[in-house]
Amino acid sequence: MLTYTEENYLKALFKVTFGSGSNEAGTNELASLLVVKPATVNDMLKKLKEKELVDYEKYGKITLTIKGKKIALEIIRKHRLWETFLYQKLEFSWDEVHEVAEQLEHIQSGKLVDKLDKFLDYPEFDPHGDPIPTKKGEIKVQYKKTLSEISVGKSCKMVAVKDNSSPFLQYVVKVGLGINNEIKVLSIQEYDSMMLIEINGKQSTVSQKFAENIFVVIE
Amino acid sequence: MLTYTEENYLKALFKVTFGSGSNEAGTNELASLLVVKPATVNDMLKKLKEKELVDYEKYGKITLTIKGKKIALEIIRKHRLWETFLYQKLEFSWDEVHEVAEQLEHIQSGKLVDKLDKFLDYPEFDPHGDPIPTKKGEIKVQYKKTLSEISVGKSCKMVAVKDNSSPFLQYVVKVGLGINNEIKVLSIQEYDSMMLIEINGKQSTVSQKFAENIFVVIE
DNA sequence: TAATGAAGTTAGACTAATCTAACAAATAAA
DNA sequence: TTTATTTGTTAGATTAGTCTAACTTCATTA
């Protein structure tokens, strides 16, 4: 059985390595994500290596083992299922679910996860549009771009957000955006890449930073 | 903010003191309930005294302060609401809910508790028949006896169990008993206090120990 | 290729929660 | 009332997770 902290390291490691090509991470990178000092990460890596959850040599890069990746996916599965529960059943708002799910994801009970999955009718995506790993650890990889990659005149559909922080999500709502909304790019300012977009007939101007955190698909 | 462990001490303290007349507890008593050594309890009591959650003098008895009692009731409220959720919504069985609720009760989110309460339509009792404290910390005290106190020929209604352990609860189910069942005491064996009872027309024989762990009311 | 800065490691310390073993106080029994 | 037993306390040690400060290795670039 892993501690709460160990689980968080695996989850963070999965996040930084997943889809990064090499699947490798560095000590500082992990430390900044977990908001601890590199020294602390270093100590923990020794422990995780001992438990065969990470591959790691002194001064080398860090990767998850199969075993470590499996556990990370289970935690992400729990996190996203709980987010879905909070949003769909308890009427939490979009920006409130993450923080509580951070706690709920560590509850240990295989039965609970399965029952929750069933209760929610086996959802494929969480409220932020992120795919929920299956019981077997399969994760749906959606072909998606960021809004900032869409060119003038084109339309797309918002499918997820990259940044899960409360301030960003509240801002997204304020702009009138939500999952599955159609977005049309009307114009892009040359100078600062500010984007004029249209959602449900309503126009808004968003910054490049904003557009980089909205995931879309072209239909 | 309290640690997981501190919360467990307050909850245990509430359990041993509540309704015990004096509302006092001893170090050994607490230690055995929490399955730690008396020395450990002693250390923790100093910390809880520092935080003004318990009243306690060296070699004296332990009592909860108003503040400590309030927190204990909040934890019990969460525990029982989660038990109700697991039982009613996720189809957990009677004997499985306690263990998972032991973890869920420590999730920190005022909003979550309120939303869960609403989602469950403000239940008054958990699956074991124990009253759920209100948001204000009010707890319904039900006038109840144990089955062992009922005399021959009398009838009563089961309202709760005293022992929440899985083996006991499974045994209760096996005997054909459940919350709100009518029980008629047909006879009591003089020698060992074995009880012959009738539930829904079905007869069963139960031990005194068993009967002491079933709470009933006389209508 | 040697200097410099970034990345990573080590040693030593701290806190929380626990233990064991020895001791002290209170209470019950002789 | 003295002794024995139960109950409670203290001191010192351990483990997990964290820190700071000093050090080492790696990588870039002049």
**CB contacts, 8 Å: B96 with chain A:** 111
Tell me the β-bridge partners of B146.
B215
Domain end, chosen from B16, B42, B64, is at: B64
Q: Is residue A154 part of a domain?
A: yes
Q: Is the pLDDT at A142 greater than 90, yes or no?
A: no
Which of B 8-27 have CB under 7 A of nucleic chain D? 26-27
Distance from CA of A101 to the nearest CA of B (A): 10
Domain end, chosen from A64, A80, A108, is at: A64
Distance from CA of B195 to the nearest CA of A (A): 37
Q: Is residue A91 part of a domain?
A: no
User: Rounded to 5 degrees, what are φ and ψ at B207?
Assistant: -75, 165
For B207, the token pair is: 């031990």
Q: What is the mean pLDDT of residues A190-211?
A: 95
From the alpha carbon of B60, which nucleotide's C1' atom is closest? Answer: D8
Q: Is residue B183 part of a domain?
A: yes
Substitution target in A99, A103, A108, A113 with the highest count of B β-carbons within 10 Å is A103
Q: Is residue A181 part of a domain?
A: yes
Q: Mention every residue, 6+ apart, whose C-beta is less than 8 A from residue A60.
A: none
User: pLDDT tens, A84-111?
Assistant: 999 999 999 999 999 999 999 999 999 9
Distance from CA of B117 to the nearest CA of A (A): 10
Q: Is residue A205 part of a domain?
A: yes
Domain end, chosen from A64, A92, A111, is at: A64
Q: Mention every residue, 6+ apart, whose C-beta is less than 8 A from residue A118.
A: none
CB distance A92–B86 less than 8 Å?
no
CB distance A103–B107 less than 8 Å?
yes
Total structural domains in chain A?
Answer: 2
The answer to whether A104 touches A81, Cβ cutoff 8 Å, is no
Q: Return the CATH number at A150.
A: 2.30.30.90
Residue A22's pLDDT band (cuts 50, 70, 90): confident
Q: Which domain holds residue B28?
A: 4-64
Q: Is residue A83 part of a domain?
A: no
Q: Is the pLDDT at B22 greater than 90, yes or no?
A: no
Q: Is residue A77 part of a domain?
A: no
For B179, the token pair is: 């919350």
Strand D contacted by A54 CB (< 7 A): no
- Pick the closest to residue A128 from A215, A14, A21 (CA basis): A215
Which of B 34-63 have CB under 7 A of nucleic chain D? 38-39, 42-43, 45, 58-61
pLDDT of residue B91: 97
Identity of the residue in A86, A89, A115 whose CB atom sits nearest the CB atom of B92: A115
Q: Return the CATH number at B48.
A: 1.10.10.10
Q: Is residue A80 part of a domain?
A: no
Q: Mention every residue, 6+ apart, whose C-beta is less than 8 A from residue A86.
A: A92, A96, A97, A100, A101, B112, B115
ipTM associated with this complex: 0.89
